[in-house]
A and B are shown apart, each in its own frame.
Chain A
Amino acid sequence: MTAELGHFAVILALFVAAVQATLPLIGAQRGDAQWMAVARPAALLQFLLVAVAFGCLTNLYVTSDFSVVNVAANSHTDKPLLYKISGVWGNHEGSMLLWVLILALFGSAVAAFGANLPPALRARVLAIQALIAVGFYLFILLTSNPFERLIPAPANGRDLNPLLQDPGLAFHPPMLYLGYVGFSMAFSFAIAALIEGRVDAAWARWVRPWTLAAWCFLTAGIGLGSWWAYYELGWGGWWYWDPVENASFMPWLAGTALLHSATVVEKRDTLKGWTVLLAIITFSMSLLGTFLVRSGVLTSVHAFATDPARGVFILVLLIIVIGGSLALYAWRGPQLVSAGLFQPISREGGLLFNNLVMATATAAVLLGTLYPLLLDAVGGGKVSVGPPFFNAVFIPLMLPMLAVMAVGPLLHWKRGDWRAAVQRLWPAMVAALAAAAGAWALVTDGPFLGPVGLALAAWLGVGTLVELAERLRLGRENLGRSLARLARQPRAAWGMTLAHLGLAVTIAGMTGAGAWVEESIQVMAPGDTVRLAGYEFRFDGARPTRGANYVATTGRFTVSRDGRAVVVLNPEKRVYNVSGQPTTEAGIETRLTGDLYAVVGDRGTTADGRPGFVTRLYFNPLVAWMWGGLMIMVAGGALSLTDRRHRVGAPARRGIAAQAAGAD
């Protein structure tokens, strides 16, 4: 009964979305207030219906109703409750339901909190949202129905992929989807603006908070995913440039560009066509990411064609949404006239530079991700490009961007003085040289990029602080007045400072873990010791242990330094009862200077013939900084979201445009 109720709720939601997609759009065109007014209740009702459907599926999982195909294929009675719930979105059908749930959530948020939006804009935005939703409901109902029955029901389920039975990954998809789907708001606003033929400062001010919220979620989601890969896959790595990761990274890059270009639209009333295009591209990347990865076309190249109906549907939907919006852009885009003149050396010039780098990086990642597919289509065989390509393209792109990133915020709008800005950055220059020299002195035989990366991180970090000090006029006025300024700083400004600082910390972490990682793979018998990065790892042996739905081999390593015990690591190798699939749980001790990381593997024989275990030991310098930095970035974004001007909302359109031009 629950399954049928959920199924029925999705069908109803489809019809509500169909109404929401048409009537308000026509109403906005005709200026009919009553037709436009349909949008808000429809958006709220749609959310209610999807929430019911999602609740039904969750209920089926929690009660382990194996008469439903989806539950039987992805759950098991022995599974802990958390993973029964996360199993709802740990599969294709359920994750699509989560997708529409979040889409409807954002739509209802506009309906509920968008009282200060002009009615026509609101009606159009909600209609576009519903239009996207219609495509997804049809996709779910026609090709990926999570409520399909399985008669007769099996006695138990096939269990969730054990790799996914992990707290980090339980919350990873919802975060990621809040990011992906959040960009649909920017998209809907962009399409609405194209229909209206108008983009102004007020528009940018409405778009920014939605984009910023999505960006925060996506950043957190990517961070969680990378952290999970780090401790669960057991290879000591944190980023593999695999298509799944790239799929989340492309919208992040494009979304970051969008955030910055929207600022230019807001402050300078220019760069409009580009910003609208970025909004379209960002959401297109989200769609591409969701679909290409979910359907497996890129990862394993398997699932896509196993269900041709699904593949064709995906392609048609992509063509309609992306192709349709780009066609609209080609038609209406030229009407978006930008006002301000543009000086290359100015705040907006710096932001445009950020945009160019981010857009190029997005294109590079897209090319690298799709290259295997493109080559195969022209009969070039199946290949993958892998990390060497991405590192070779991506790192050179990022280096100049980081260098400019410290300078940009010090430039004034309209016309900046780069010499003055660079002169004020002398503390950052000192810090950068010190960091490079320090790194060089500590690790002389490491890769060249190590000191360079740390220097850039120091340059950006200290440069950001210099900019903050400039804003407070620290040292130029007495301390009391500077502190008073500190308290008066708008939260959006704090957000920028924190986000840039966070990136500096992240870059330091990536550099450390990327350039100076030390690893050692061997067979160890109990009592054996391996020296790594100045630490001694003594293997004390391994014993069988047991969890709720798995059995494990738990190893024990005593790590010491200069004869003093530092920590005991207990890595596990689990084998899950139902699927028989093994997973590794690395033993990790996080320290400020780096992570001690141990993995225990299969049984083996040492070189001199004693029985032991295959062990992998790593020292990952500074790796925790990476996730710490990401957290700072998210905190910065969140703080900026609470800025007063977002809460108060934008005053009337014309007023704000004049105000923005006058400000700064």
Chain B
Amino acid sequence: MRSRLIYLLPLGLFGVLAVYFAVGLTRDPKIIPSALIDKPAPEFVLPPIAGGTGGGFSTADLKRGRVSVVNVFASWCVPCRAEHPQINRLAGMGIVPVYGLNYKDAPEEALAWLNALGDGYTAVGADASGRVGIDWGVYGVPETFIVDGTGRIRFKHVGPIVGDALEREILPLIRHLQGGGR
């Protein structure tokens, strides 16, 4: 009897594997977590967009005890255009500073883009070379990060914030973090 069981072992192992595959099939492959979640935001200093009026921002701005939002955008990025009204709406609520990380963009085009669509950002930093973006783990634009008061990244949204994403994901988390949530 025991020797028979050994012959069943491969089948059993494969059965376990098949269940895993089946579960894997139901997963949404688009959810890719950031390795930086719950890690301190990378050290950086970004200059303002050349020729613009606002100031840039740096890691120090994210450590002022307030929850803040960092939105990665570029004028060449079509989905950014789609999400921009939501970003402006969030900024308009006045509950959190919203920083713009202008990723690999030409200054004049970025300024024209912000002029046309409205600039609600608290400050915009220009990351012309994409170097800071690498530290943030940016691999597609747009991306949006929520940083807590101590400067730790707590959430990353990949892709444009459209539909009810702002109400469903972003705002509850901001309120939670502002409410003293760890």
Contacts and interface: CB of A to CB of B under 8 A. Distances in A.
Contacts of B18: 315, 318-319, 323
A334 B14 contact: no
Interface string B123-151: 00000000000000000000000000000
Contacts of A330: 4, 7-8, 10-11
Interface in A565-623: none
Given A301-B29, A302-B29, A376 B14 contact: no
A314 to B, nearest CB: 9
Greatest chain A CB density within 10 A among B22, B23, B24, B30 is at: B24
A377 B14 contact: no
B130 to A, nearest CB: 11
A377 B29 contact: no
B32 A305 contact: no
Interface in B88-120: none
Interface residues of A, number: 34
A277 interface: yes
B21 A329 contact: no
A308 B31 CA distance: 16
Interface in A299-322: 300-302, 304-306, 308, 311-312, 315, 318-319, 322
Nearest to B10: A326
Nearest to A335: B7
A297 interface: yes
B27 interface: yes
A233 B3 CA distance: 50
How would you classify the secondary structure of chain A's contact residues: helix, strand, loop or mixed? Answer: helix
A323 B33 CA distance: 33
A150 interface: no
A374 interface: yes
B27 A323 contact: no
Interface string A335-378: 00000000000000000000000000000000000100110111
Nearest to A305: B29
Greatest chain B CB density within 10 A among A273, A302, A382 is at: A382
B10 A329 contact: yes
Contact of A315 (B10, B14, B21): B21
Contact of A377 (B3, B23, B32): B23
Given A302-B29, A326-B11, A370-B20, 7 more contacts: A301-B32, A312-B25, A323-B14, A323-B18, A329-B7, A334-B3, A382-B31
**9 closest Cβ contacts across the A-B interface?**
A377-B23, A326-B11, A301-B29, A333-B7, A330-B8, A330-B7, A377-B20, A326-B10, A373-B24
Interface of B: 3-4, 7-8, 10-11, 14-15, 17-18, 20-25, 27-33
19 contacts: A277-B10, A301-B29, A301-B32, A304-B29, A311-B25, A315-B18, A315-B25, A318-B21, A319-B18, A322-B14, A326-B10, A327-B11, A329-B10, A334-B3, A334-B4, A373-B21, A376-B24, A376-B27, A377-B27
Interface of A: 273, 277, 280-281, 284, 297, 300-302, 304-306, 308, 311-312, 315, 318-319, 322-323, 326-327, 329-330, 333-334, 370, 373-374, 376-378, 381-382
